[in-house]
């Protein structure tokens, strides 16, 4: 899916890439290099607590596999922002960049 918008000389393009967990980060970074983007924003859905526990357990068994967000932050050729929703109780979003980890943005 590709969405495009142009306003005040700023061009925005939204893409959704599909792939397996191990390939997602590399695929996103490769596409960012190919498109020569200046800002990459990567989002993540909030999963149920039991799913997160199972994912952590499986991750420990695989050792070397880093998450998609972390891979994109470390390897993208441009400024990268990772966005995750915060708990419903407090609202807002957690923003992560190379310099700031889990910065809370109330929006």
User: Whole-model pTM?
Assistant: 0.68
Answer whether residue 53 shows pLDDT above 80: no
Domain total of the chain? 1
What tokens does 68 get? 């998609």
Domain boundaries, position 40: 19-105
Confidence (pLDDT) at 13: 80
* pLDDT-based confidence at residue 3 (cuts at 50, 70, 90): low
Alpha-carbon distance 78 to 38, whole Å?
5
Other Cβ atoms less than 10 A from the Cβ of 92: the count is: 12
Query: Per the domain annotation, does 53 fall within a domain?
Result: yes
Q: Does the residue 36 lie in any domain? A: yes
pLDDT at 59: 58
More confident residue, 25 or 4: 25
Q: Is residue 64 part of a domain?
A: yes
Maximal C-alpha separation, the chain: 49
């Amino acid at each position: 899916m590709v969405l495009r918008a142009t306003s005040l000389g700023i061009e925005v393009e939204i893409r959704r890439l599909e792939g397996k967990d191990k390939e997602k980060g590399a695929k996103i970074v490769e596409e960012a290099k190919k498109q020569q983007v200046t800002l990459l924003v990567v989002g993540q859905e909030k999963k149920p607590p039991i799913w997160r526990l199972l994912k952590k357990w499986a991750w420990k068994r695989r050792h070397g596999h880093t998450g998609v967000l972390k891979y994109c932050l470390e390897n993208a050729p441009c400024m990268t922002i990772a966005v995750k929703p915060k708990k419903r109780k407090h609202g807002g979003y957690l923003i992560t960049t190379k310099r700031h980890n889990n910065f809370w943005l109330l929006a």
